[in-house]
Chains A and B, each alone.
Chain A
Amino acid sequence: MLEGLVGGLFNGISIGAVLLIVALGLAIVFGLMGVINLAHGELMMLGAYTTYVVQNGANGLGDWAVESYILVALPLAFLVAALVGLLLERSVIRFLYGRPLETLLATWGVSLILRQFVRSVNWPMVIGLGVFALLFGVGRWILSRYTDWARIARWANPVVSILSAAIALVAGLVVQGAGNPTFTRAWFSTRNVDVTPPSWLRGGVSLGATLQFPSARLFIIALTILCLVAVYWFLNGTTWGLKMRSVTQNRAMSACLGIPTEQVDALTFALGSGLAGIAGCAVTLLGSVGPNLGGNYIVDAFMVVVVGGVGKLVGSIVAALLIGIVTYLVGSGTVALLLTGNEALQPVTDFFTFFATTSMAKVMVFALIIAFLQVRPAGLFPQKGRSVEA
């Protein structure tokens, strides 16, 4: 009985930890900034692909590298996702603050672009994009230095961009035409890639006769706690965290007091994206890595943040653990098992037995969440006092 209880609790917490690490970045981006980022899953995917690249690099270095590559992959996944997030914020999202619908559509578009990018990225494409960025940047810089840019911007911008694009296209095609097949081959292709965790994360820790805690789950729980502590410290113990919280609570007033709100926005978004990258690295221990990886997690991530309540990290923590434990208890039939043997409760037992499959457990969790949001539309821990600007 005790073993069953411990095992059940551990499994529930481990499902919750996965949900939480996936939702943590979103809790910052959506919870603190109010940006509905549908590309969050794709940032995770980039983190997962970073892990794949690091793993392939480690395979050439010998056994010690194969055993420890994940420790290098984690910070790198954070960096890659944070940089892409920063780029995304500076180039798309900052023009859409305060317009949730447009943000939603734009980020959904970005998510499709990122998926296709991963499927088809190869050297010619990278070279083409690089040439374009270089020409466009240099062209604008020269023009803005030697001419009255404000006056000619209307026609100069399109001209420069079209010219750069044309040259980039030609450059790409030349490379494509001249290149040998290994050079023009897609890096990842549409296939899922195989990420194999180091051997110490593939087994489990046995406890007692029947209990076995998978190492991958223990690792993810530890990682989640680490990320939580780091985020908490960052928000409450650093100057930038303080600025972030003040901008979240009252943007106009913060700007009046000299806080660089634009920089804070960029930093916040990059932090949230970086956490998505870490989550992407973590889920490679559990599942497959492919262009559609993000789609499998995005709904769950939003679910956690919405149930937790916008604007408070603690809400997301409690929500993730609750959803994890309920999903596990219902889906594995533990609830139904506990109730059996009680004659009076037979109908209740049958009810839970019906829901004791993976698909139906999900249905039940969704139903419970909908019911809960009817009672508390703002989630578990709604923001008190001044509301967050949406």
Chain B
Amino acid sequence: MTTRFGRRKFLAYGSATLGTAMLLKACGSAPTDSTGGEEDAPTAAADGDTIKVGILHSLSGTMAISETTVVDAEQLAIKEINANGGVLGKQIEAVLEDGASDWPTFAEKAEKLIDQDQVVTVFGCWTSASRKAVLPVFESKDHMLWYPVQYEGQECSKNIFYTGAAPNQQIEPAVDWLLENKGSDFFLVGSDYVFPRTANTIIKEQLKAKGGNTVGEDYLPLGNTEVTPIITKIKAALPEGGVIFNSLNGDSNVAFFKQLQGAGMTPDMYPVMSVSIAEEEVRQIGKEFLVGHYAAWNYFQTVETPENEQWVADFKAEYGDDRVTNDPMEAAYIMVYLWKQAVEAAGTTDLAAVREAAYGQEFAAPEGPVTMNPNHHISKTVRIGQVRDDGLFDIVSSTDGPVDPQPWNQYVPETQGFGCDWSDPAKGGKYEVEA
């Protein structure tokens, strides 16, 4: 070296290099933002007239892990519909926007989709926080959002259709099943934010009503991986074993299950019921730590219906053999079809007409038959699965048929006795149900 390579220069070149590398990457993997235009599309769409729908999920940031899988399912549904002639004889064009795991960004992008792109509906959101952020946008513009994830309930908006489970279609049946089969002493573990806290409020009220006990509860801050104190508490509260109800989200689950096994707490003594762990998460946590534990969902990849076999095969053909399907993906897939049926029943994409036409729409979903209710939620079958050796679920219990949704929880005193019915202008989002 004859000269020193100056710091400023280094930074300039270094950043140039990295910029280059990132560019390389970006050019290589730019997502396709349109799923229209299949080669075997019918000539009806040849006039170039398309129906625009918005897809609004996090394609980057912490939530991207989960939300990109949901985008895949939505795009598969759109692709299939287009291949079969589209909607009202027109092809669907999807406008993809990235909410970037940042709630204000979700609100901005929602406005952009509605005002700039003039989409006729939006499919999107995963976390309750992002849904709460876009809710005012959809209500002020009187537009339409389809939301595919199980959530804590206590909401019923005229402008949102919820195709995930309400608490009475996931949490409550799970608690009932545990009380019947696994004992009545519950320890509640969750991440420290709105969904687990609301869910646990419901569980505590339900246990009170059904004669179970909550022996303790604790919340881990998101991203925390030190579970030792919680494990000590569980052992102290349940020395003879008992039920652990887990609403942890994301990384904490990995730490929780790894350390639970290390502490010798096996599923036969300490069965864990999770509400945020589906097939995709099992793969990331490591099935060795989960075998024998339980999860409550409406859909598992192992559901034995002809529709499901077809769907899993289609999905793997489209995205690769190593991919798995799970509940939120399935809910995302069926909501596209429910919207399509509503549009075709209405004969127009006019929002009010589509909303009216959506009530009562039925669809033979992979999970079994589903029906859209006037309260904007769908009737779904509820299932309990147990993790087996291959990382999929053994379905150990399932309801006889679809369970009707209750957005307003019937165990929490503040919302007891309330219902929601948007088909009747006199009732609306929250009315007192006649006893």
Which A residues contact B (CB, under 8 angstroms)? 7-8, 11, 14-15, 18, 91-92, 95-96, 113, 116, 120, 122, 124-125, 128-129, 132, 136, 144, 149-150, 153, 157-158, 161-162, 165, 168-169, 172-173, 176, 184, 186, 190-197, 202-204, 206, 210, 212, 214-217, 283, 285-288, 290, 292, 295-296, 327-328, 331-334, 337, 356-359, 361-362
Q: How far is the CA of A49 from the CA of B17 in the complex (A)?
A: 23
How many pairs, one residue from A and one from B, have CB atoms within 8 Å of each other in the complex?
A: 184
Residues from chain B with a CB closer than 8 A to the CB of A18 are 226
Say how far A260's CB is from chain B's closest CB, in angstroms.
15
Q: How far is the CA of A158 from the CA of B17 in the complex (A)?
A: 12
Determine the residue in chain A with the shortest Cβ distance to B18.
A113
Determine the residue in chain B with the shortest Cβ distance to A186.
B29
Residues from chain B with a CB closer than 8 A to the CB of A192 are 65, 251, 254, 284
Cβ of B205 within 8 Å of any chain A Cβ, yes or no, is no
Q: List 8 A-B contacts (CB under 8 A).
A: A7-B232, A129-B17, A158-B9, A169-B24, A176-B27, A194-B286, A286-B225, A287-B254
Determine the residue in chain A with the shortest Cβ distance to B288.
A196
The segment from B40-48, B115-123, B137-145, B213-221 that touches chain A is: B213-221
**Partner of B225 from A136, A197, A204, A283 at Cβ < 8 Å:** A283
Q: Quick one: given A95-B7, A288-B284, are A331 and B229 in contact (CB under 8 Å)?
A: yes
Cβ of B21 within 8 Å of any chain A Cβ, yes or no, is yes
Interface residues of B in 97-117 (CB under 8 A from A): none
Q: How far is the CA of A362 from the CA of B220 in the complex (A)?
A: 10
Say how far A183's CB is from chain B's closest CB, in angstroms.
11
Q: How far is the CA of A120 from the CA of B27 in the complex (A)?
A: 12
B285 adjacent to A212 (CB under 8 Å): no
Say how far B118's CB is from chain A's closest CB, in angstroms.
31
Say how far A110's CB is from chain B's closest CB, in angstroms.
10
Q: Quick one: given A165-B17, A202-B288, A203-B261, are A173 and B9 in contact (CB under 8 Å)?
A: no
Cβ of B13 within 8 Å of any chain A Cβ, yes or no, is yes
Q: How far is the CA of A357 from the CA of B220 in the complex (A)?
A: 8
Encode contact with A along B25-37: 1 for CB under 8 Å, 0 otherwise: 1011100000000
B284 adjacent to A358 (CB under 8 Å): no
Residues from chain A with a CB closer than 8 A to the CB of B2 are 144, 149-150
Cβ of B211 within 8 Å of any chain A Cβ, yes or no, is no
B3 adjacent to A153 (CB under 8 Å): yes
Residues from chain B with a CB closer than 8 A to the CB of A8 are 232
Say how far B423's CB is from chain A's closest CB, in angstroms.
41
Residues from chain A with a CB closer than 8 A to the CB of B285 are 194, 288
Residues from chain B with a CB closer than 8 A to the CB of A190 are 60, 64-65, 68
Residues from chain A with a CB closer than 8 A to the CB of B201 are none
Say how far A255's CB is from chain B's closest CB, in angstroms.
17
Cβ of B413 within 8 Å of any chain A Cβ, yes or no, is no
**Partner of B24 from A124, A286, A361 at Cβ < 8 Å:** A124
Determine the residue in chain A with the shortest Cβ distance to B225.
A287
Cβ of B183 within 8 Å of any chain A Cβ, yes or no, is no
Determine the residue in chain A with the shortest Cβ distance to B59.
A190
A212 adjacent to B263 (CB under 8 Å): yes
B224 adjacent to A358 (CB under 8 Å): yes
**Partner of A210 from B228, B235, B262 at Cβ < 8 Å:** B235
A206 adjacent to B264 (CB under 8 Å): yes
A295 adjacent to B223 (CB under 8 Å): yes
A358 adjacent to B230 (CB under 8 Å): yes
Residues from chain B with a CB closer than 8 A to the CB of A292 are 62, 223, 251
Interface residues of B in 58-102 (CB under 8 A from A): 60, 62, 64-65, 68
Q: How far is the CA of A220 from the CA of B238 in the complex (A)?
A: 27
Say how far B188's CB is from chain A's closest CB, in angstroms.
12
A125 adjacent to B25 (CB under 8 Å): yes
A212 adjacent to B264 (CB under 8 Å): yes
Say how far A286's CB is from chain B's closest CB, in angstroms.
6
Residues from chain A with a CB closer than 8 A to the CB of B254 are 192, 287-288
Residues from chain A with a CB closer than 8 A to the CB of B239 are 210
